[in-house]
Structure 1
């Protein structure tokens, strides 16, 4: 195996898992990491049943995964629910990978503006004045919360996988690069923006955007772009 193919990173499937399945069957990586936006009408393990015995499967959530109760349940209550990398560092195929799922939401925190709420409890307590049984809606569950984001800075990792992009992209956020630098991350992979690209930001951190239904390896090389298999 090419060592760069030990881990593959899959851009937003939006319901089309065939390119990822084909890439895993071709390269047989030790692990795959999915970068969000699955649009699941069935549980995630069903969509990936063809590769479950070939590779480890890890994921972070995207904004689409909170759009409906069905999409949410098919991810967060799937048989692969414990394979979420969101807000944790996990050793995967010899690399420490940290996940940051969800999106920046104006009603919660939209950098560089200060956060609207200190944390989820602050928000929920403010809502309980008229409703004692208030819970986070799916929209608020999709948000990146400032306190959870800041807590990650105390950890160390080799790779950051995020749904949102760092400031390397015109629609990205510089705070994502700041997080990576604080964690001594060397490489960032992100989805969400449906674009394949590679660049370098401060601290010599390599950034790889992975387009929807595309699959990239550890070097950021695109191995699958839609249904097109790209030979190395």
Structure 2
């Protein structure tokens, strides 16, 4: 196996997993990391049943995965629920990979503005008494919260995978570049913006944007340009 293919990164499938499945059969990676926006109408493991057992499957969530209770359930209650990388560092194929799912939400935190809420508890404690017992809405669950983001900065990793883009993209966020620098990562892979590109942010951290349904290798080469 080519070492740069030992981990592959899959851009937003939006319900079409065929390019990822084809890439696994062709390149035989040790692991794949999915970058969000699955638009699931069946559980994730069913969509990927052709490659379950052939490779490790890891993921972060995107904004689409919080759009409806059904999409959320098919990811977070799936047989692959424990393969989520959000807010932690996991050793995968000998690499420390950190995950940051979700998106910045104006009513929670939209950098470079200051966060409206320090964290989920701060938000919940400031809701009307008669609604505090209610579950947090999916939209809020899919937000990036400031306190969790700051806690991630204290960890160390080789690679950071995000749904949102860092400052290398015109629609990206410098705080993600700063997060990567604080964690000592060498590479960032992100989805969300449906564009294959390579960029650079502070500390010579290489950024790879992976387009929807595309698959990239560890060097940032596009192996599959999904259709």
Shift of 1:134: 2.3
Give 1:213's aligned residue.
213
Q: Deviations over 1:149-202 (max 9, x none)?
A: 000111000000000000100000000000000000000000000000001111
Map of 1:38-57 to 2, 5 A cutoff?
38-57=38-57
1:127 aligns to what SS in structure 2? Answer: coil
Give 1:63's aligned residue.
63
1:196 equivalent to 2:217? Answer: no
1:130 aligns to what SS in structure 2? Answer: helix
1:64 aligns to what SS in structure 2? Answer: helix
CA distance in 2, matches of 1:158, 1:224: 24
1:136 equivalent to 2:136? Answer: yes
Task: Label 1:18 to 1:118 Cα distance change in 2 as closer, same or farther (>3 A).
Answer: same
1:152 equivalent to 2:152? Answer: yes
Give 1:92's aligned residue.
92
Using the size of structure 1 for normalisation, the TM-score is: 0.97
1:177 equivalent to 2:166? Answer: no
CA distance in 2, matches of 1:200, 1:119: 30
Unaligned runs of 5+ in 2: none
CA distance in 1, matches of 2:128, 2:122: 10
1:124–1:135 Cα contact (<8 Å) kept: no
Shift of 1:132: 3.8
2:12–2:192 Cα contact (<8 Å) kept: yes
Shift of 1:128: 3.5
Using the size of structure 2 for normalisation, the TM-score is: 0.99
Give 1:25's aligned residue.
25
2:12–2:213 Cα contact (<8 Å) kept: yes
